C-alpha cells in the first residue's frame, strides 16, 4: 500500500476525480495510482486478490485514470454478452500485436468496425467446420505421434517449448496438410517475440523498435502461405482435408493474401494457449498419479482398435474431464481487457472513454463459493453433469472468454486438447522433475510455464494393463 505521503499527493492533485467513484471499493491510490500493485506481480494474481479482498468489482487507478477489475459474473456478462457489449472494445493488446499479425482476421478488428464480416470468414464460422474438425483428428494424431517419437529420443526436455513445437506442427497439419519447416517456425517465433516486447513494454509503443529484419521476416512468414495456396490451386486435390484446401474448394474466389493471413494468424490465436494448457495438464497429472493412470487406460482403449476419431473423443469422458480441469485450474489466458469507446455506465459509475477494464478468470475459476476443493485438480468434478453445470463460457468457467467475441477457435482447441492428451497418454508417460508449483511468466498475452522439465517414458502394454485394472 502507498505510504501516507504518496496517498496525500494523489489526493491533492486528483481528489476531485475520486469523488464520483466513492461507491466502489478498492486499494488506496498513491502517486502511481494503484498501478504499483501490478509492478513485479502477475496481473492475474493481483486481479484474483482484488476479488478476494474487494468482491466482484474493484476500483483501480492507472495513474490519474480510473479503471475497474471485474470478478462479478453478471458484470462480466454485461461487458461481454449483453447488447451493451458494442460499447466495449478490446484493450490495447490489439494495437500491441498489430504489427506482427494482419488486419485480415477478426483477431484485432473492432466491434464497431468490420469485426462481424471478418468473424464470418474464420474457419470456425464456416458451415463445414464440424466436418473439417472430424477430418483433422487422424492427421493430427499421426503428427503428434511422430513428435512424441522424436521427444522420446531426448534424455531431458523443457516441456513448454517442446509442446509448443508439437502444437505448432499439429496446427500445421490442420492448416495446410503437413508440418512446416524450422524456418517457418522460427519466423513465427520472431514475430511473436516482437509482439510480446510491445505487450510488456513500459514505454509508449512508438519507442518500441521491432527486431532486426522484422519486415522481411513478416513478409516471408505470410508469403510462405501465399505460395502454398497458389500451389494448392494448381493441384486441386479433392481428397485434401486441411483448412486451406477446404477454403479453396468451398470458397474458390477467396483472395490468396486474405487466406494466407488467416492461416498464419491461426498460430498466433492458439499455438501458445493450447500448448501451455497441455503443460499445465501434464504437470497436474504428475501430481495426481491416479488421474494420470485413468487417463492412460482410457487413452489406450481409444487407440486399441485403430486411429482416433471425433466420435471416440466425444465418448472419452475422462479425457474430456482432464482437459476441462486443466482449463479451469491453469487457464492459459487469465486476464482480458476491455475499454469503453465512449463514456459508459458500469457498476453504478460513469467510466470515461478509454478506461481500463480488467477481466480475470483466475478468481472465478477457483472461487470456493462455487467450486468444492477449488485448488485441487479433480477431473471427476466434470463427470455426471459437470460440463452441463459449468459449460464453456459460463459465469465461473470461461477459459476462452465469453459471449460473441469469445475465441472463434474454441471448438478446434477442445478437439486438439482432447486428441493430444489421448495420443500422448496412450504412448508415453511424461515424468517431471518436480510437481511443485512452477514459475508463471507471461508471453504474447498467455501464461508461460517456466521450469517444467523432465522426460518421456514409453508406456508398455503391461503398464497400460496395470493402469486399466487399477
Q: What is the DSSP letter of 28?
A: P
Unique residue bearing C-alpha cell 508398455: 460
Closest CA to 407 of 248, 277, 256: 277
Cα–Cα distance between 237 and 258 in angstroms, integer?
Answer: 21
Cα–Cα distance between 222 and 267 in angstroms, integer?
Answer: 12
- Is the distance from CB of 341 to CB of 87 less than 8 angstroms? yes
**Is 407 a known ligand-binding residue?**
yes
Q: How far apart are the first and last CA of the chain?
A: 52
Cα–Cα distance between 406 and 80 in angstroms, integer?
Answer: 8
Closest CA to 325 of 367, 368, 372, 382: 382
Dihedral sign computed on CA atoms, order 269, 387, 397, 343: positive
Could you write out the DSSP letters of every residue in 344-385? EEETTEEEPTT-EEEEESHHHHT-TTTSSSTTS--GGGGTTT
Could you write out the DSSP letters of every residue in 291-334? HHHHHHHHHHHHHTTSS--HHHHHH-HHHHHHHHHHHHHS-S--
Closest CA to 90 of 59, 66, 58, 112: 112
Unique residue bearing C-alpha cell 454478452: 81
Q: What is the DSSP letter of 136?
A: H
Annotated binding site: 407
Annotated binding site for heme: 407
Amino acid at each position: 500500500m502507498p505510504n501516507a505521503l504518496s496517498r496525500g499527493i494523489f489526493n491533492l492533485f486528483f481528489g476531485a476525480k475520486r469523488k464520483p467513484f466513492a461507491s466502489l471499493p478498492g486499494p488506496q491510490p498513491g502517486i502511481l495510482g494503484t498501478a504499483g500493485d501490478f509492478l513485479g506481480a502477475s496481473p492475474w494474481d493481483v486481479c484474483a486478490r482484488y476479488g478476494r479482498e474487494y468482491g466482484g468489482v474493484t476500483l483501480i487507478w492507472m495513474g490519474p485514470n480510473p479503471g475497474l477489475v471485474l470478478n462479478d459474473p453478471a458484470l462480466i456478462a454485461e461487458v461481454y454478452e449483453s447488447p451493451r457489449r458494442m460499447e466495449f472494445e478490446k484493450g490495447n493488446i490489439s494495437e500491441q500485436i498489430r504489427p506482427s499479425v494482419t488486419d485480415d482476421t477478426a483477431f484485432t478488428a473492432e466491434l464497431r468496425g468490420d469485426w462481424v464480416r471478418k468473424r464470418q470468414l474464420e474457419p470456425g464460422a464456416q458451415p463445414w467446420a464440424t466436418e473439417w474438425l472430424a477430418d483433422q483428428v487422424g492427421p493430427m494424431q499421426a503428427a503428434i505421434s511422430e513428435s512424441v517419437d522424436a521427444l522420446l529420443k531426448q534424455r531431458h526436455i523443457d516441456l513448454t517449448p517442446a509442446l509448443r513445437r508439437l502444437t505448432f506442427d499439429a496446427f500445421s497439419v490442420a492448416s495446410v496438410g503437413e508440418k512446416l519447416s524450422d524456418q517457418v517456425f522460427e519466423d513465427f517465433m520472431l514475430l511473436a517475440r516482437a509482439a510480446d516486447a510491445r505487450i510488456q513494454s513500459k514505454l509508449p509503443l512508438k519507442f518500441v523498435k521491432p527486431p532486426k529484419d522484422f519486415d522481411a521476416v513478416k513478409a516471408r512468414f505470410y508469403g510462405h502461405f501465399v505460395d502454398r495456396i497458389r500451389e494448392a490451386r494448381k493441384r486441386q486435390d479433392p481428397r485434401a482435408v486441411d483448412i486451406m484446401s477446404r477454403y479453396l474448394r468451398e470458397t474458390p474466389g477467396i483472395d490468396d493474401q486474405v487466406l494466407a493471413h488467416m492461416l498464419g494468424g491461426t498460430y498466433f490465436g492458439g499455438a501458445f494457449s493450447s500448448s501451455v494448457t497441455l503443460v499445465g495438464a501434464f504437470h497436474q497429472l504428475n501430481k495426481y498419479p491416479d488421474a494420470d493412470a485413468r487417463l492412460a487406460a482410457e487413452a489406450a482403449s481409444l487407440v486399441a482398435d485403430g486411429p482416433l476419431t471425433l466420435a471416440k473423443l466425444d465418448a472419452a469422458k475422462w479425457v474430456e474431464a482432464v482437459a476441462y480441469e486443466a482449463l479451469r485450474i491453469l487457464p492459459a489466458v487469465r486476464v482480458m481487457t476491455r475499454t469503453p469507446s465512449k463514456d459508459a455506465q458500469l457498476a453504478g459509475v460513469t467510466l470515461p472513454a478509454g478506461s481500463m477494464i480488467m477481466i480475470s478468470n483466475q478468481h472465478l475459476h477457483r472461487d470456493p463459493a462455487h467450486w468444492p476443493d477449488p485448488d485441487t485438480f479433480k477431473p471427476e468434478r466434470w463427470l455426471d453433469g459437470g460440463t452441463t453445470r459449468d459449460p464453456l463460457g459460463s459465469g465461473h468457467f470461461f477459459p476462452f472468454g465469453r459471449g460473441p467475441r469469445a475465441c472463434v477457435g474454441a471448438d478446434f482447441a477442445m478437439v486438439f486438447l482432447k486428441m493430444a492428451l489421448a495420443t500422448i497418454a496412450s504412448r508415453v508417460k511424461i515424468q517431471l522433475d518436480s510437481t511443485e508449483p512452477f514459475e508463471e511468466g507471461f508471453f504474447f498475452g498467455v501464461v508461460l510455464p517456466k521450469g517444467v522439465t523432465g522426460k518421456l517414458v514409453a508406456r508398455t502394454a503391461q503398464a497400460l494393463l496395470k493402469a486399466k485394472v487399477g
